[in-house]
């Protein structure tokens, strides 16, 4: 992901609620400072990122600009308990797994957990963020990737524990004890 795009997104989100002239001036100054700093630090031969897209951490959806992200309701971060987790998160994933309390704090729904989805296929390993429902054992959001070849292993890591994953239709192939440790996708 392009660090500058997400940094700019965070700045805009920070000031978007203060639409006074002073608020706009502060926001413009913060963005100017960010852009000036990134130009100054750019004296090596590292290739420029080819895209300024923001990428949803859960589903890999992209949006081409900070303005488009703000307009469509992407959010820059959310809380898991008392810990702030960096996004950004797209509108669809917000609707699926986040809720807003009466004070405006955006948090992961209490029955959900954020983990890492891993698929080993064709001798390669694919990893992405995922969201699981620990009550229903559903894999709510994951990106399966497009690796070719034979599927060797599919699992999620949640709270430090490794849990096998399989499609819902194969759920009955496992004992109740096994199912209690697994997650299932539709």
- Of 58 and 78, nearer to Zn ion (C-beta) is 58
Q: Is 93 in the site for Zn ion (CB under 5 A)?
A: yes
The one among 5, 27, 55, 61 contacting Zn ion by CB under 5 A: 61
The one among 66, 75, 90, 165 contacting Zn ion by CB under 5 A: 90
Q: How far is the CB of 146 from Zn ion (least distance, A)?
A: 17
How many C-alpha atoms does 95 have within 13 Å on its Cβ side?
5
Q: Which residue matches tokens 């524990």?
A: 161
Q: Is 27 in the site for Zn ion (CB under 5 A)?
A: no
Residues of span 38-57 touching Zn ion by CB under 5 A: 56
Give CA–CA dist 141/125, Å, rounded.
18
Q: How far is the CB of 180 from Zn ion (least distance, A)?
A: 28
The strand ranges marked E within 69-135 are 75-80, 83-89, 98-100, 106-108, 112-121, 124-133
Residues of span 109-168 touching Zn ion by CB under 5 A: none
Q: How far is the CB of 169 from Zn ion (least distance, A)?
A: 25
**109 within 8 A of 155, measured Cβ to Cβ:** no
**Between the CA of residue 122 and those of 119, 126, 150, 177, what are the distances in Å?**
10, 10, 5, 30
Chain residues binding Zn ion by CB under 5 A are 56, 58-59, 61, 90, 93
């Amino acid at each position: 992901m392009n660090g500058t795009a997400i940094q700019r997104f965070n700045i805009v989100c920070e000031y978007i609620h203060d639409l006074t002239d002073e608020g706009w001036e502060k926001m413009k100054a913060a963005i100017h400072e960010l852009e000036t700093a990134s130009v100054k630090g750019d004296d090596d031969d590292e290739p420029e990122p080819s895209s300024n897209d923001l990428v949803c951490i859960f589903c890999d959806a992209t949006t081409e600009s900070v303005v488009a992200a703000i307009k469509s309701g992407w959010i820059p971060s959310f809380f898991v308990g008392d810990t702030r987790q960096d996004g950004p998160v797209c509108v669809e994933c917000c609707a699926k797994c986040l809720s807003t309390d009466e004070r405006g704090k955006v948090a992961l729904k209490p029955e959900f957990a954020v983990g890492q989805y891993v698929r080993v296929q064709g001798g390669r390993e694919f990893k992405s963020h995922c969201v699981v429902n620990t009550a229903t054992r559903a894999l709510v959001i994951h990106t399966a990737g497009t690796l070719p070849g034979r599927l060797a292993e599919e699992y999620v890591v949640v709270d430090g524990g490794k849990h096998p994953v399989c499609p819902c239709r194969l759920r009955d192939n496992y004992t109740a004890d096994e199912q209690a440790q697994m997650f299932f996708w539709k």
